[in-house]
Structure 1
């Protein structure tokens, strides 16, 4: 392991806005994010597979009245967003280092107000369907964690994954699609995202690929 990586891991251990294995808070945070981590009662917004945290931090800048948590298993990636948040004095940002498959071990029922799924791995092979972050398995895990009026945002460049998700939601009786577009940057909702882009979104959009966006909620 490189010296740079080791230094970043050490800083993650010291940074209060990183919740990860080895810290006491890691085992106790479920149901207590507002009280323990943020010390306020603001709504909690979670981004899955946040990478370096560009989107999480970007949203936190725009919405100081909300708390933002980026989730990723890669500590070196989380370090970037964590460091920027600290440098900018953003108190409404935190990062959780864990596998998304066990998200329900870290959030209590109804603790999340909004969930963002941004440019996940499409896992195109049929045998990998269960690994897609919009598969039935994951939707069933998200459902109880999200508040009754809460919403899920989904952005991707992958047309097959987007259509798969749309078809899946259309078949369910417990979801309502609020917004859908196959060309987000030529849609009425573009300005709502304040130009904030993930690393991969910038790569894909710079290549001229159309970004798909979907917003939905659970209704029962």
Structure 2
């Protein structure tokens, strides 16, 4: 769904640059300083309107959360919700996540979330999928040695592709769940898309994986 243009978005972002941090590359390897503490950092790529991030930040106050979203109109909606929540363990970035290594240093992220990413179903677009090898190389670099990648989708084709991609890259699959909501995981925080799809009876898939250098 196309987001309605918000002509006031630039002014809003400037007024709230303590939350939507500009020039993310300036803070590479220093995100704990930006938060003002030494808590572990969890990163969501494609945070949408922020429902998942806010739910996680409430559930895990001992963790710092960063959400990246390329759409200015969408990140503004997320920021409004974060401000209303009063949470202080969330930061947002209005950035293109094509190379996360420009914004995050080696071993800087404890957990990375990919929630309902664009499946890019055509073969010629394979390299755009966020579970393609070139993206996995980025994740491996910015994640801690024992860091975890958590991937959720409603798209069976993308899920199967991603499992093969993870395995071929040498990752260790910690969980492969073919019907997430069937297990009644009370810790699961749903995204906006997840609520929409699951309410229509669509199956939600989840995978947890770690890179081969992990000691776990």
| TM bucket, shorter chain | over 0.9
Task: Note if 1:185 corresponds to 2:165.
Answer: no
For 1:124-203, list aligned pairs within 5 A.
Answer: 124-173=121-170, 175-187=171-183, 190-193=185-188, 196-203=189-196
TM-score w.r.t. the length of structure 2 is 0.92
Q: Report the CA distance between 1:3 and its aligned residue.
A: 10
Distance in 2 separating the partners of 1:3 and 1:165: 32
2:207 match: 214
Aligned to 1:11: 12
Single out whichever of 115-124 and 199-208 deviates more from structure 2.
199-208
Shift of 1:69: 0.6
Find out whether 1:109 has 2:111 as its counterpart: no
Contact 1:108 / 1:145 at 8 angstroms: preserved in 2?
yes
Report the counterpart of residue 20 of structure 1 in structure 2. Answer: 22
Which aligned segments of 4 or more residues in structure 1 are displaced greater than 4 angstroms?
none
2:41–2:64 CA contact under 8 A, matched in 1? yes
Structure 2 regions of 5+ residues with no counterpart? none
1:16-39 per-residue CA deviation (whole Å, 9 max, x = no partner) reads 110235xxxx3411111110x210
Unpaired stretches in structure 1, ≥5 consecutive residues = none
Query: TM-score under structure 1 normalisation?
Result: 0.91
Deviations 1:173-211 (A, max 9, x none): 3x10001111000126x2221xx2211111111110000
Q: CA deviation at 1:170?
A: 2.3
Contact 2:50–2:82 (8 Å) recurs in 1 = no
| Cα distance in 1 for residues equivalent to 2:105 and 2:208 | 22
Q: Which has the higher helix share?
A: 1
How much is the aligned-residue C-alpha RMSD, in angstroms? 1.6
Q: How many residues align?
A: 210
Tell me the SS of whatever aligns to 1:121. coil
CA contact (8 A) 2:42 2:111 kept: yes
